[in-house]
Amino acid sequence: MSYVFQFGIVWDHWPKLLEGAWLTLRLSAASLLLGLALSVALAFGRRDGPRWVRALVGAYVEVIRNTPFLVQLFILYFTLPALGLRMDAWQAALIGMALNFAGYGCEIVRSGMEAVPRGQLEAARALGLTPLRIFRHVVAPQAIAIAWPALASQAVLLMLGSSLVSAISVEELTAVTNSLQSTTFRSFEFYFVATALYLVMALALRVALDGLHWALFRRGRPVERRQ
């Protein structure tokens, strides 16, 4: 093999790679927060809303889950301006990632809602709580705690899927890597380092979400002992 590895050139452009990775993290965090809020709202509408709301949410979930994320981005960034709704690349990426996450997160949260004991719901109704208050104080906290591992996995997929927003000129890690390798002709070195950065970010996100789960839902609980 005659190929000579030159990772020194990657070090010369390291600040640009870090800037792209930082944008990836910021975009992923913002879309995750927005997507999680949408997921909870959609789950409530699909389970406890009127029939027409349940039908609309169900249609939305099917469309999101059965169409490519890249096509969804193109619709937001290229098609909506023809209808008079314009947004820049960052806004399109943020909204697209949040809407995509919500399509999957809705079903994840709804599965957690189904696991909440019926007795608690009956007790809340007996106390005179409205459906919205029951959802807010009884169902949602437990549903999110139950569904958290699946939501965390989906969050990691969301962060990795952010690489597709480079197609609409968002300068995140993949876009920066593509630009650098096209000008230096060192594709192996740059893509290898980009892969390592994505791996580190994914593992760090997983650890952060696990820690947040412990802080929100498990801290202060007695340790379960195995018999």
Q: What is the pLDDT of residues 5-30, one digit of tens each?
A: 888 899 999 999 999 999 999 999 99
* Residues 109, 121: Cα–Cα separation, whole Å: 17
pLDDT bucket at 127, cuts 50 / 70 / 90? confident
Residues 83/14, Cβ–Cβ less than 8 Å: no
Angle formed by the axes of helices 51-65 and 89-114, nearest 10° = 120
DSSP string, 206-219: HHHHHHHHIIIIIT
Q: Which of 169, 50, 38, 168 has its CA nearest to residue 104? A: 38
Distance CA 125, CA 120 (A): 9
- Provide mean pLDDT across the span 187-216: 94
Q: Is the pLDDT of residue 221 over 70?
A: no
Domains of the chain (ranges; CATH) run 25-172 (1.10.3720.10)
Q: How far is CA 204 from CA 48, 49, 94, 174, 215, in A?
A: 36, 37, 21, 18, 16
pLDDT tens for residues 144-159? Answer: 999 999 999 999 999 9
d(CA 178, CA 194): 10
| pLDDT in the model for residue 223 | 46
- DSSP letter string, 74-130: HIIIIIGGGGT----HHHHHHHHHHHHHHHHHHHHHHHHHHTS-HHHHHHHHHTT--
What's the confidence (pLDDT) of residue 62?
96
d(CA 131, CA 149): 26
| Whole-number pLDDT of residue 84 | 86
In residues, how long is the chain? Answer: 227
Per-residue pLDDT band for 220 (boundaries 50, 70, 90) equals low
- Residues 185, 45: Cα–Cα separation, whole Å: 51
Percent of residues in the chain assigned helix, strand, coil, to nearest 5:
80, 0, 20
Residues 38-58: tens digit of each pLDDT: 999 999 899 888 999 999 999
Q: What percent of the chain has pLDDT over 70?
A: 96
Q: What is the pLDDT of residue 42?
A: 95
For 68-86, the pLDDT digits (tens) are: 999 999 999 999 988 888 8
